[in-house]
Structure 1
Amino acid sequence: MTGEDEHEKTAPVTTPLLSPGERPTLKTMSRITGLAIATVSRALSDAPDISVETKRRVRECADHIGYQPNRAGQRLRTGKTHVVSLLMPTEPDIMSHTAQLISSIASGLHGTPYHLVVTPYAPNEDLMRPLRHMIGTRSADAVILNQTMPKDPRVAYLMERGFPFATHGRTIWADQHAWFDFDNRRFAELGIAALARRGRRHVLIVAPPLDQLYGQDILEGITKACQIHGMTPLWLKGATSDSASKVIETAVSAALEETPEIDAILCSSPMSAITAIDTAEQLGRVIGRDFDAFAKEATPLLTRFRREALTLHEDVAKAGKALACAALQAIEDPKGPRMSGLDIPHYQDPLDAPSPDL
């Protein structure tokens, strides 16, 4: 029987309050749990030779007394910060997609020694600046990138330096790094097909920036599907799905007035869809009668705004957890295979729903 096993059998978990003025330390946790200080430290570090039950006891104790590791000392001892950084742009309209991605990545790291830090950057900021700072200061053990470009300079920079990372979206080097992506080409094909089934022929596209790979995927999917279904795509000028609501409103209003035959709208985000639908309605058009709208969303926000809107679910929670696992694997096994995954969407068209009388 090991010393650790003896402690587990003879020292039940207790959670007394700290003495007046006492700071939560490894020594405090050793006293509370009855485990050796070294065992407590290794349990917090998720050491493989420490049992799951011991790790649970130690973490429960840490939560109870508010223990936070001295990360400077931890970094000196292990060379690790136990931080995974998510680089996110500061968008003008923060919607549930962003919040859910952050939440799901954090959930994927739960129960590990790692925690998530969100590193924001402005849309017009040098993309490399926050990355260079992070690697120069070694303030994280891995990074997760969002909104990737085909030849993303951030990915090239990280690959050149062998720094652990994962991307939400693919690049031309997808076979060499960890990633998770949503099949946006398939989303576009399903959207055009659904609009065509409703007799629509002229579709206004509120697309992502075309310098991003998922924007190019949507472009290819729409182009192919419109050819198949005999529809005419009209690309929104002067705005993208990432633009501020006011910018989208102005651009959509101009498009509808310039091309009154537009009878459908396809959007790559719920925020842009809400703005586009609202703009069309301000011009006197009725959704479901004069036009239909199709978009993807992570939570049922758009359908609560307008029940007539056609929506496809994007499982952002699945993406976040997969990215967390991919980042951890890149840290722990830098020379091993890279995790990757493609979420292929499915659309249940209400027109296909069986009659309640059947």
Structure 2
Amino acid sequence: MARATIKSIAKRTGYSVGTVSNALRGTDSVKRETREQIQRVAKELGYRVNLDGLKLRTKKSYRIAVLVGVSADVPEEWEGVEFTRILAGISNALRGSMYELSVFSVADIDGSMKTLQSIVREGLADGVIFSGTRRNDPRIAYLQEQDFPFVTYGMSDSSQPHPYVDFDSQAAAFDATERLLKLGHHRIALINPPQELIYAAQREQGYSDALSAAGEPQDPALVFSGPTTAKTGQQGFISLMKMPDRPTAIICANEAMTLGVLSAASDTGIRVGRDIVVISTDDLQLSRYFVPPPSTYYVPIVETSHLLGEFMLKSLDGVDPSAIQKKIRATLIERQPDTPAPEAA
């Protein structure tokens, strides 16, 4: 079989030799869809580009950095479960492009900043994706100041628009709270992430809005905050059950927290589904195996993270940031009847 060349790719695709050459170099002068088509045909024909030479000519790394949070404080927790799915979705979106992923582990916000500064200064990647957006997030401000392409998994309060994909945390918390109120619950607790995270504030706002709309009083003691781990769920449940007027329903920010709540309930003899109702607002579809399996608000994380990769490629192409933003509404998966509170039964 003859070796694939730029001319043979041009003949197969119908594009000019110049267009094929530019597409294989990854230049912005060729539309992304055209580049992907040409690169796909080149791969089918077995064309091999000299990537080292291409990097020298274009002064690009052809890598996209993904920051993965790893905490040494909770090594026994399952915080890596979600990110494996996120990486899978991003990788699928990059398939057919010239880009590969580079994963950088970071422990905290200071570590994230140092890593980002190294990526930008040393040209370790052409763009970056990260999650856990915070109020007045210094990472976002820095990357905008450097005019460096990035996409966040989560909204921000930045005054300048930037690409993001987000789960509508506020709507999920509102829907979950409203649903429980209609079932007759009046004491509804929220186990939430740390307050410095944007989506923690969004969840609390949705929870608060639903209570206000129903004319229910708000008790700050019913909101328990901490890292999004099973341990936090366990601690939150124990704390809430010590209240004189304890809640009849608990909304958890994610499945890890939900698992901690279920474990603590089992240890204390409190029956979930009868003595108390538990709902999760960030479902990875693992909770279907919990005992009992709770109702959840589900977001297809692989599809969501696929958008992160798509938006990253568009950002690298110079697309207007305000045109590559997406907020996704969760879908209720009802696994429990979420029985009305005892006093309403």
Q: Which residue of 1 aligns with 2:42?
A: 58
Matched, 1:131 2:116: yes
> How many equivalent pairs are there?
319
Q: Which residue of 2 aligns with 1:100?
A: 85
Flag the structure with larger Rg.
1
Deviation at 1:38, TM superposition (A): 9.4
Matched, 1:160 2:145: yes
Paired residues of 2:190 and 2:224 also in contact (CA < 8 A): yes
Deviation at 1:138, TM superposition (A): 0.8
Deviation at 1:126, TM superposition (A): 3.1
Q: Which residue of 1 aligns with 2:227?
A: 240
Gaps of 5+ in 1: 1-13, 17-27, 353-358
Paired residues of 1:298 and 1:314 also in contact (CA < 8 A): yes
Matched, 1:78 2:78: no
Deviation at 1:286, TM superposition (A): 0.8
Q: Equivalents in 2 of 1:114, 1:258: separation in Å?
A: 53
Aligned Cα RMSD in Å? 3.3
Q: Equivalents in 2 of 1:77, 1:132: separation in Å?
A: 24
Partner SS for 1:275: helix
Matched, 1:294 2:294: no
Deviation at 1:94, TM superposition (A): 2.6
Name the CA shift for 1:59/1:257 in 2 (closer, same or farther; >3 Å).
same
Deviation per residue, 1:1-56 (Å, 9 max, x gap): xxxxxxxxxxxxx4x9xxxxxxxxxxx6559x799999987664457498877643
Gaps of 5+ in 2: 12-16, 72-76, 339-345
Paired residues of 2:236 and 2:261 also in contact (CA < 8 A): no
Deviation at 1:146, TM superposition (A): 0.6
Matched, 1:326 2:311: yes
Matched, 1:188 2:168: no
Q: Equivalents in 2 of 1:52, 1:163: separation in Å?
A: 22
Partner SS for 1:347: strand
Q: Equivalents in 2 of 1:51, 1:84: separation in Å?
A: 17
Q: Equivalents in 1 of 2:337, 2:232: separation in Å?
A: 34
Q: Give the 5 Å matches for 1:2-21.
A: 14=1
Question: Residue 311 of structure 1 is aligned with which of 296, 311, 321?
Answer: 296
Letter in 2 for 1:117: S
Q: Give the 5 Å matches for 1:38-53.
A: 44-45=24-25, 48=30
Paired residues of 1:83 and 1:117 also in contact (CA < 8 A): yes
Q: Equivalents in 1 of 2:124, 2:65: separation in Å?
A: 9
Matched, 1:117 2:102: yes
Partner SS for 2:332: coil
Q: Under a length normalisation based on structure 2, what TM-score does the superposition of the two structures give?
A: 0.80
Deviation per residue, 1:260-286 (Å, 9 max, x gap): 622211111111111111111211011
